[in-house]
């Protein structure tokens, strides 16, 4: 097994320049937001007080950041050491998914200058699901940076510190599994208080389980997607052998999710609602079809063997998991009066900018730090 090394590639490429441009545009609109208020940039309103900055950047964004969580569970808890080469890239995407999710929270908060109140024991309100999410995500961002720290330490040659850190890494590995389980399920629990405003197609007591299971599935899908795209782009040795083994794990999780989703829908007699013509019902079916497609590819040997089908299925899973979150938070949600919401262009540009920043930092890190395996030939 080869070791992780920085990719010797130029930092300035057409791709990175486009990404930089998108980030600059996003910061321009963020400037407008801070000068003139949320309403000057975003279409959020009293009926839809949460828009894509919450749902895409935080709720979907952190699910995309679950690669580190998913791999830590497999490698450290279920002792599948053979997947270790996928660990660092997974942690890296988690690092940015979560760090930028936290950043998005700050600019979405209407009274961000009070954000530190979340840390004052005499202000916090322990019954609030959001408090649990906020504290747990903050803690996990720290854990992710610590889990990823060996890459910096190796690069800087600080082997002494690295040895000490390695000895205690099991603590962070455990937290790296526990904390995402907690807050990813809580992202589902956040909707439990919405019972009267949420379509029964999404509202269920199983929301926390559905959220955490789909986050896990999305975490693996991100790892598969990343490994395939990165090895293609930089013509590194294919990781497909490893990925196809991982596929079965993801397949089983996806099947489990679908079973829970549908048994629950039948148990609550909510299925008839899935046959009413409306946009939300249409999206409900798209969401389930994407999960089903991914499950079918991943549980069949032929599907797993084909790199192309696996990549498509990973993408389907990411799209399905994202749509599930979007539906649960925005589409299946019914405001009390005449309100509608569709993100404005500046609002979209901010979210696109955040995603661009994520990809940009990912590229910079894999080119400067030992993250990927198999680049030895290019040294």
Partner 1 sequence: MNAVDRRDFLRGAGFATAAAALPTEASAGIARPPKEISPQAVGMLYDSTLCIGCKACVAACKAANNMPPDIPQHLTDWNEDTWDTPEDLSGRTLNVIKVYRNGTAEQKDHEINGFAFVKRHCLHCVDPSCVSVCPVSAMQKDEVTGIVTHDPDRCIGCRYCVYGCPFGVPQFDFNNPLGKIAKCQFCSHLQKKGQIPACCDVCPTGASLFGPVKEIEQEIERRLTAAPGTPHEFPRGKIGENRPPNAATIPHYVKGIYGEHEAGGTQVRYLAGIPFPKLGLPTLGRQSPASLSEGMQHTLYHWLIAPVVAFLGFAFLARRNMAQHADDEAPKS
Smallest distance, partner 1 to C-beta of residue 16, A: 27
**Closer by beta carbon to partner 1, 240 or else 373:** 373
Q: Cα separations (Å) of 111 from 105, 114, 115, 130?
A: 11, 6, 7, 15
Smallest distance, partner 1 to C-beta of residue 19, A: 28
Long-range contacts at 139-143 (CB < 8 A, ≥ 24 apart): 139/175, 139/179, 140/98, 140/175, 140/176, 140/179, 140/180, 140/183, 141/95, 141/98, 141/99, 141/102, 143/172, 143/175, 143/176, 143/179
157 sits in the region (left: phi over 0; alpha: psi -120 to 50; else beta) called left
- Dihedral sign, CA of 367, 368, 370, 376? positive
**Closer by beta carbon to partner 1, 124 or else 142:** 124
d(CA 50, CA 100): 17
**Closer by beta carbon to partner 1, 153 or else 255:** 153
Smallest distance, partner 1 to C-beta of residue 247, A: 22
Smallest distance, partner 1 to C-beta of residue 308, A: 31
**Closer by beta carbon to partner 1, 17 or else 168:** 168
Q: What is the DSSP-derived secondary structure letter of residue 200?
A: T
Smallest distance, partner 1 to C-beta of residue 123, A: 5
- Dihedral sign, CA of 94, 99, 100, 105? positive
**Closer by beta carbon to partner 1, 51 or else 303:** 51
Q: For residue 351, which of 119, 57, 43, 55 has the smallest C-alpha distance?
A: 57
**Closer by beta carbon to partner 1, 13 or else 128:** 128
d(CA 67, CA 224): 9
Smallest distance, partner 1 to C-beta of residue 28, A: 16
Smallest distance, partner 1 to C-beta of residue 171, A: 6
Smallest distance, partner 1 to C-beta of residue 88, A: 11
Q: For residue 118, which of 134, 103, 102, 133 has the smallest C-alpha distance?
A: 134
Smallest distance, partner 1 to C-beta of residue 352, A: 21
User: Contact 99/141 with Cβ under 8 angstroms?
Assistant: yes
**Closer by beta carbon to partner 1, 41 or else 295:** 41
**Closer by beta carbon to partner 1, 62 or else 189:** 189
Report the chain's terminal Cα–Cα distance, integer Å: 16
User: Contact 175/138 with Cβ under 8 angstroms?
Assistant: no
**Closer by beta carbon to partner 1, 190 or else 316:** 190
For residue 182, give both structure tokens: 């907690």
DSSP assignment of 302-333 equals HHHH-HHHHHHHHHHHHHHHHHHHHIIIIISB
């Amino acid at each position: 097994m080869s070791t992780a090394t920085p990719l010797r590639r130029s930092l300035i490429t057409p791709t990175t320049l486009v990404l930089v441009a998108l980030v600059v545009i996003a910061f321009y609109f963020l400037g407008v937001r801070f000068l003139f208020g949320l309403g000057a940039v975003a279409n959020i309103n009293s009926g839809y007080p949460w828009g894509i900055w919450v749902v895409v950047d935080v709720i979907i964004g952190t699910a995309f950041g679950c690669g580190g969580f998913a791999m830590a569970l497999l490698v450290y808890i279920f002792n599948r050491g053979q997947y270790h080469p996928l660990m660092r890239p997974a942690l890296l995407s988690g690092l940015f998914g979560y760090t930028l999710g936290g950043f998005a929270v700050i600019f979405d908060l209407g009274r961000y200058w009070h954000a530190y109140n979340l840390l004052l024991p005499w202000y916090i309100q322990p019954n609030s699901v959001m408090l649990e999410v906020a504290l747990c995500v903050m803690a996990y961002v720290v854990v992710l940076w610590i889990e990823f720290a060996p890459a910096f330490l190796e690069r800087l040659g600080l082997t002494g510190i690295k040895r000490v850190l390695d000895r205690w890494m099991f603590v962070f590995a455990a937290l790296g599994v526990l904390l995402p389980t907690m807050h990813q399920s809580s992202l589902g629990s956040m909707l439990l208080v919405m019972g009267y405003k949420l379509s029964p197609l999404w509202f269920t007591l199983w929301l926390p389980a559905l959220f955490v299971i789909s986050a896990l599935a999305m975490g693996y899908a991100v790892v598969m997607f990343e490994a395939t795209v990165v090895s293609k782009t930089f013509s590194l040795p294919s990781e497909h052998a490893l990925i196809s083994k991982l596929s079965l794990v993801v397949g089983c999780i996806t099947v489990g999710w679908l079973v829970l989703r549908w048994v629950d829908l039948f148990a609550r007699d909510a299925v008839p609602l899935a046959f009413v013509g409306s946009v939300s019902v249409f999206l409900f079916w798209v969401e389930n079809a994407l999960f089903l497609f991914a499950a079918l590819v991943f549980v069949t040997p032929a599907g797993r063997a084909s790199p192309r089908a696996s990549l498509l299925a990973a993408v389907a899973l990411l799209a399905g998991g994202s749509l599930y979150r979007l539906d649960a938070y925005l589409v299946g949600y019914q405001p009390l009066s005449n309100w509608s919401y569709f993100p404005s262009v500046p609002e979209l540009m901010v979210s696109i900018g955040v995603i661009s920043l994520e990809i940009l930092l990912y590229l910079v890190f894999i080119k400067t730090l030992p993250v990927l395996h198999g680049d030895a030939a290019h040294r």
